[in-house]
Amino acid sequence: MRRVLLAAAAGVVLVASGWGLVQVWRNRSEPRGGRIELTERELGLEVIAAESTATVLRLNWNVLRAGDKEYGPAAWLDPTKLSELGFDCGVPLSKPSARSHYTSMPSRPVFLAMEYEGDAWRKAGATKKVKSRLWAVDAARDPDRLRQQYPDRQHYIICRGLVRLGFRDREAGDGTSPPAPRLEGWIQSIYPDEVFVPLPYGRVLRELRRTGSAGPDTSQVSEPRFAVRVCWGANYEPWVEGVRVLSTTGAGVK
């Protein structure tokens, strides 16, 4: 009996690993989410551990925020959009139970349309300190609907993300009450928000990390040192297809 149990436990390990590989194969069968070249502004070199040779890039993105603040809810995630995404916004905001209703709602997984070097960046990016040119511009439960709306795969990628709902009955700064409570929509994250860089590309980026870097915070990167071709596949999960080292003058390719 013990041997049977152990064999089953080993089977669980093998099935889990096999499942992961099947998902990778399925994901990479078609770049449904889009294929795009991003630079160091959008993909920051992440430091895992001091001695680690693994190379991981963190996706940096922006969204147009309500009130044009640096940190805040997404301007386009209004109650109508939140309802479309599946949140139950039916409880009147003035009801005593509204607060507990809305604050106990977990995040919802959605698909996000991310625009690269598009109108959102041109309109808002020029006035911002943040340098990333990747902007979240829309969200939906159905990725195909998003793709139909944003068919340009060179400038729009579709990826997975998390959206959460906020119930605001006090202002963040001074704690005063607004005239009426309101609902806010926040993009909590895109996921996976880190991209592992395999061989041989990992070596190239490791060299750059060794020669000095701004670290994972690329908000201050003015001249990107590398560009990475990333694909989002059939499962809307990313993988690296290629790395280019950009010359320090910003022209040419090494």
Partner 1 sequence: MDMDARKKAQQRVDRVASFRSELAELERQGVLNLTPEQQSHLDAHYDGLLSGFQQQFGVDVTDSGKQVSWGMRVASLLGGAALIAALVLFLHRIWGNLPATVQVAILTGAPLALLAGAEAAFARQADRYYVGLLALAAGVAFVMELNALGSVLNLADSPHVLLGWGLFALLVAYAYGLRLLLGAGLVLLCAYTAALILSFQGYYWAGFMQRTQLLIPGALLLYCIPWLTRGQGSDDFEFVYRACGAGTGLSALLLLSTSGDLCCGGLRPGAVEATYQIVGLLFSAAVVFHGVRLSRKGLVNLGVAAFIVFLFVRLHAWWWQWMPKYLFFLLIGLTAIGLLLVFRRIRTRLLEGAVV
The yes or no reply on residue 2 touching partner 1 (CB under 8 A) is yes
Candidate residues 8, 180, 251, 253; the one interacting with partner 1 per rule CB under 8 A: 8
CA-CA distance, 80 to 246, in Å (whole number)? 43
| Residue 216 burial (C-beta neighbours within 10 Å; 0-12, 13-18, 19+) | middle
Candidate residues 40, 42, 43, 55; the one interacting with partner 1 per rule CB under 8 A: 55
The yes or no reply on residue 51 touching partner 1 (CB under 8 A) is yes
The yes or no reply on residue 90 touching partner 1 (CB under 8 A) is no
Candidate residues 92, 178, 198, 242; the one interacting with partner 1 per rule CB under 8 A: 198
Which residues, including other chains, have CB under 8 Å from residue 26's CB and lie 6 or more apart?
233, 234, 235
The yes or no reply on residue 215 touching partner 1 (CB under 8 A) is no
Q: What is the DSSP letter of 100?
A: H
Q: Which is nearer to partner 1, 215 or 250 (CB)?
A: 215
CA-CA distance, 41 to 59, in Å (whole number)? 9
The yes or no reply on residue 211 touching partner 1 (CB under 8 A) is no
Side chain identity at residue 168, one-letter code = R
Candidate residues 30, 47, 53, 92; the one interacting with partner 1 per rule CB under 8 A: 53
The dihedral over CA atoms of 24, 113, 59, 152, expressed in degrees to the nearest 10, equals 80
Specify the residue for token string 């309802």: 83
Binding positions for partner 1, rule: CB under 8 A = 2, 5-6, 8-10, 12-17, 19-21, 23-24, 48-49, 51-56, 86, 96-97, 99-101, 103-109, 141, 160, 162, 191-192, 194-196, 198-199, 202-203, 206, 235-239
